[in-house]
Structure 1
Amino acid sequence: MRKEYTSELTQLTVIEIVTKLSEKKRNFSFRDIEEEYQQPLSAADKFLIRCLIVKKFNLKIEYFSSSKANQLQFCKI
């Protein structure tokens, strides 16, 4: 059996959120997106965000590790 994830976010919502964040910040993470969206992100939401960031926005994805948590960070090239 294959797992199927449902996403609460739409592509348009993700594009709007990422556009706002990329104008405000040079680097941002899923936490910043959650704060902007004001809801926790599901695995499907994170997958959709990551795909759109790579395809539409051409941002670089870095693995950011700190003492608090390990997190992906999206950076302008």
Structure 2
Amino acid sequence: MERARKGSYFLFMKGGAVMSPDTFTTEPLYTVPEVAHYLRCSPRTIFDLIHRGDLHAVKIGRLTRITAGQLAAYLNRT
């Protein structure tokens, strides 16, 4: 993997994918509790879906966020 230049920012997605500033999106980002509330389940269930790879999430530091597109893709698959 190419080393990032000093001052470059990258987001590491679950599964090892990397987002560079070129691929950033303007989609809304939802928290795990927000997605859990929308799907009427517990946040633990959402974390389990992410861990299994069923729902893709973006890590921003220690924070886990789910884009609207990732949530829609998951809902279309189920």
TM over 0.5: no
**Bigger proportion of residues as helix:** 1
Structure of greater Rg: 2
- TM norm structure 1: 0.32
